[in-house]
Amino acid sequence: MHKDIKKILLSADEIKKIVSELAEKINADFKGQPTVAIVLLKGSMFFAADLMRELTMPVSLDFMKLSSYGNETNSSGIVKILLDTSVELEGKNLLIIEDIVDSGRTLLKVQNMLKDRSPKCVRICTLLDKPDRREADVYVDYVGSVIPNEFVVGYGLDYAEQYRNLPYIGILDESVYSN
């Protein structure tokens, strides 16, 4: 285990199982309908890569990048759009792929933006949900794991751009960000 990690919350094997279970539900619901997967960078990259390889409908890939955190462990409250989608979304089934829903502000912003583009349907899938921190009223269709209010990193999630490449999700030791 990495020296800055206090505790492993989800091991690589546990993540794999969660991803498969999510894919099974999504495959059942989407019933083979063509879908655009919209991956919210950067954190969701690892999750999306694994999830998409288990999806059975025809699925195309697009990206958005929004930012709310800077290098802090607490959200700044401002969601900035750094990269927008590049394909036509009108009349399409959309699957938004997110790594973690915290305050919910990122998803609220994404939902509002996409609503204006007249998609056929928008569903949201997140690997992690931290409901204790929710501020915005967002409905998430698929949740991999509900987690406690701890600062987690790994499998795409960062602190100051580090730890994204850890194969598990772990709780970051306070000593890393308390000084």
Closest to ligand PRP by CB, 67 or 111: 67
Residues paired with residue 96 on neighbouring β-strands, in sequence order? 38, 124
When CB distances to ligand PRP are compared, the closest residue is 43
The gap between the terminal CA atoms of the chain, to the nearest Å, is 22
Among 99, 102, 129, 158, the active-site one is 102
DSSP 64-123: EEEE--TTSSS--S--EEEE---S--TT-EEEEEEEEESSSHHHHHHHHHHHTT--SEEE
Closest to ligand PRP by CB, 101 or 114: 101
- Give least dist CB 92 to ligand PRP, A: 21
Tell me if residue 140 falls in helix, strand or coil: coil
- Give least dist CB 34 to ligand PRP, A: 25
Q: Token match 């406690």: residue?
A: 148
- Give least dist CB 33 to ligand PRP, A: 26
Tokens of 98: 């997110």
Element (H, E) at 6: strand 5-10
Q: Would you tell me which residues interact with ligand PRP (CB under 6 A)?
A: 40-43, 67-69, 75, 98-106, 158
Closest to ligand PRP by CB, 93 or 103: 103
Under 8 Å between Cβ of 41 and 65? yes
Closest to ligand PRP by CB, 90 or 112: 112
- Give least dist CB 104 to ligand PRP, A: 5
84 is catalytic: no
Q: Indicate which residues carry an active-site annotation.
A: 102
